[in-house]
């Protein structure tokens, strides 16, 4: 297949709807989120009023069809919005990313009509979702999980612990992966929709993190949580398919978060180097600084092309597994590289919290870790190349 055979436009050319949402998200980020960033960072908590505004803006249900009170948009629209929000605060970016690319996508693809009718309007208008796969012994080995689900009449009783759950403090709906038969390996895994008010379910330890500090990352405890069978997402024993295929899409969302951080780093470096005077001139007049800026801009553009390409492939129904892995791997490298370079260009000021670039550096590090480590992305890419 050649590029001319594909149905999507040039990667950096957005449709009218995509451009409109990008501009709306950028304006919202600059005018509403930016003034709250420092306070949320210090409090390590999202502003509750901001969460409500996300729903009012339609940013929590971009792809949910209009008949379920969502925006009826596309995957690419989610990606450009996540990028713009993350440009201002990656903590808030991952908040809406998990909702759109993981939780909503899982419901849209795997839920039956009854589950969609019950939960999609809630996710579009008022309720935050969380994606609960990881455990103490199941990180990269995602299906070594111990959380159990035992059939009990018209329900399942869930017991176990989940770790590293993004949006845990804010969420009301939790997509929990548990095994109905430990001896069956990955074929025993099932996806359950757990509601916060269910007896026996609780939020435990909140992690004190290096970066994305306003994003809640918590431990979940499930102690004889009774989940009705109608709250199963997909088929019993097919939760591994829900997990794998949803994470493939989620990695593109993390790529968007990372290019948002990288863009913020480049913007900060461009502004500062033109303002900072040394030896009687702006440091941007020095060729050595110009070369650093040029390299940063080139790396960012390459990362953005990878992310947009993966998004276009996904929304056009074409294979995108390798491209999603490449996008996540490379964009996380670029976010860390550009934020580090920005600190170098700021000099001593880059190392203090009065200026924004040290936060970009701390926020970027998670990109190599969550939703599949960089090593796992390289493993995926290599396996596909060697088939």
216-230 in b/e form (b: 16+ CB < 10 A) is: bbbbbbbeebbbeee
Yes or no: say if 174 and 193 are a contact pair by the CB < 8 Å rule: yes
Look at residue 276 and tell me whether its pLDDT is greater than 50.
Answer: yes
What does the pLDDT read at residue 3? 43
Look at residue 151 and tell me whether its pLDDT is greater than 60.
Answer: yes
Q: Indicate if 371 belongs to the active site.
A: yes
Distance of CA 59 to the CA centre of its chain: 13
Which among 180, 173, 315, 187 is positioned nearest to 241, based on CA atoms?
A: 187
Look at residue 155 and tell me whether its pLDDT is greater than 60.
Answer: yes
What does the pLDDT read at residue 2? 44
Mean pLDDT across the chain: 96
pLDDT, tens only, 77-93: 999 999 999 999 999 99
148-171 in b/e form (b: 16+ CB < 10 A) is: bbeeeeebbbbbbebbbbbbbbbb
pLDDT, tens only, 320-361: 999 999 999 999 999 999 999 999 999 999 999 999 999 999
- Quick one: three-class SS letters along the chain? CCHHHCCCCCCCCCCHHHHHHHHHHHHHHHHHHHHHHHHHHHHCCCCHHHHHHHHHCCCCCCCCCHHHCCCCCCHHHHHHHHHHHHHHCHHHHHHHHHHHHHHHHHHHHHCCHHHHHHHHHHHHHCCEEEEECCECCECCCCCCCCCEEEEECCEEEEEEEEEEEECCCCEEEEEEEEECCHHHHHHHEEEEEEECCCCCEEEEEECCCCCCCCCCEEEEEEEEEEEEHHHEECCCCCHHHHHHHHHHHHHHHHHHHHHHHHHHHHHHHHHHHHHCEECCEEHHHCHHHHHHHHHHHHHHHHHHHHHHHHHHHHHCCCCCHHHHHHHHHHHHHHHHHHHHHHHHHHHHHHHCCCCCHHHHHHHHHHHHCCCCCHHHHHHHHHHHHCC
Rounded (10°) CA dihedral 20, 360, 12, 284: 110
Look up residue 75 and give its two tokens: 């995957």
Degrees to nearest 5, angle at CA 323 with 377 and 89:
75
Degrees to nearest 5, angle at CA 100 with 95 and 104:
125
CA 354 to CA 285: how far, in whole Å?
A: 25
What does the pLDDT read at residue 154? 97
Please state the rounded mean pLDDT for residues 18-32: 98
pLDDT, tens only, 47-80: 999 999 999 999 999 999 999 999 999 999 999 9
11 pLDDT band, cuts 50/70/90, is: confident
CA 377 to CA 140: how far, in whole Å?
A: 10
pTM score of the predicted model: 0.96
142 pLDDT band, cuts 50/70/90, is: confident
220 pLDDT band, cuts 50/70/90, is: very high
Please state the rounded mean pLDDT for residues 89-114: 98
Look up residue 34 and give its two tokens: 């930016």
315 pLDDT band, cuts 50/70/90, is: very high
Look at residue 7 and tell me whether its pLDDT is greater than 70.
Answer: no
Look at residue 229 and tell me whether its pLDDT is greater than 70.
Answer: yes
Domains of the chain: 3-128 (1.10.540.10), 131-237 (2.40.110.10), 241-385 (1.20.140.10)
Q: Residue for token digits 């069809």?
A: 65
What does the pLDDT read at residue 9? 55
Longest dimension (CA), the chain: 79
Residue 359, exposed/middle/buried by CB under 10 A (0-12, 13-18, 19+)?
A: buried
Q: 207 Cβ partners below 8 Å, 6+ apart?
A: 164, 217, 218, 219
Look up residue 248 and give its two tokens: 């493939």
pLDDT, tens only, 183-192: 898 999 999 9
41, 170, 315, 371: the catalytic one is 371
Yes or no: say if 233 and 110 are a contact pair by the CB < 8 Å rule: yes
Look at residue 21 and tell me whether its pLDDT is greater than 60.
Answer: yes
Look at residue 215 and tell me whether its pLDDT is greater than 50.
Answer: yes
Look at residue 5 and tell me whether its pLDDT is greater than 70.
Answer: no
Distance of CA 78 to the CA centre of its chain: 10
Please state the rounded mean pLDDT for residues 285-305: 98
Look up residue 30 and give its two tokens: 């600059």
Helices 357-364 and 321-346, packing angle to 10 deg: 150
Look up residue 10 and give its two tokens: 């040039």
């Amino acid at each position: 297949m050649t590029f001319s055979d594909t149905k999507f436009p040039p990667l950096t050319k957005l449709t009218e709807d995509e451009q409109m949402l990008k501009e709306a998200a950028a304006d919202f980020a600059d005018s509403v989120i930016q003034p709250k960033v420092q306070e949320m960072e210090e409090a390590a908590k999202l502003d509750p009023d901001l969460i409500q505004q996300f729903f009012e803006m339609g940013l929590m249900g971009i792809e949910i069809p209009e008949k379920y009170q969502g925006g009826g948009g596309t995957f690419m629209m989610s990606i450009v919005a996540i990028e713009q929000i993350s440009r201002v605060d990656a903590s808030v970016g991952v908040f809406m990313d998990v909702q759109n690319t993981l939780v909503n996508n899982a419901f849209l693809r795997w839920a039956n009509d009854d589950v969609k009718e019950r939960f999609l309007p809630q996710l579009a208008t008022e309720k935050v979702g969380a994606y609960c796969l990881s455990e103490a012994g199941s990180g990269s080995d995602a299906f070594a999980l111990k959380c159990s689900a035992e059939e009990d009449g018209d329900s399942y009783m869930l017991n176990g612990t989940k770790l590293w759950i993004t949006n845990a403090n804010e969420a009301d709906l939790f997509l929990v992966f548990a095994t109905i038969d430990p001896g069956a390996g990955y074929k025993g895994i099932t996806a359950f929709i757990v509601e916060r008010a269910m007896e026996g379910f609780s939020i435990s330890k909140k992690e004190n993190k290096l970066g994305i500090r306003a994003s809640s990352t918590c431990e979940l405890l499930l102690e004889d949580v009774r989940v009705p069978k109608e709250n199963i997402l997909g088929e019993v024993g097919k939760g591994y398919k829900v997990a794998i295929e949803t994470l493939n899409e989620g990695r593109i969302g993390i790529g968007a978060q990372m290019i948002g951080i990288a863009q913020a780093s480049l913007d900060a470096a461009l502004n500062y180097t033109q303002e900072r005077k040394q030896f009687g001139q702006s440091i941007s007049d020095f060729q050595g600084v110009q070369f650093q800026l040029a390299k940063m801009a080139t790396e960012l553009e390459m990362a953005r092309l990878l992310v947009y390409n993966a998004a276009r492939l996904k929304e056009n129904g074409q294979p995108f597994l390798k491209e999603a892995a490449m996008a996540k791997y490379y964009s996380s490298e670029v976010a860390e590289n550009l934020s580090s370079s920005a600190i170098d260009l700021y000099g001593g000021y880059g190392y203090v919290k009065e200026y924004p670039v040290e936060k970009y550096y701390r926020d970027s590090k998670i990109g190599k870790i969550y939703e599949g480590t960089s090593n796992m992305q390289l493993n995926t890419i290599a396996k596909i190349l060697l088939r």
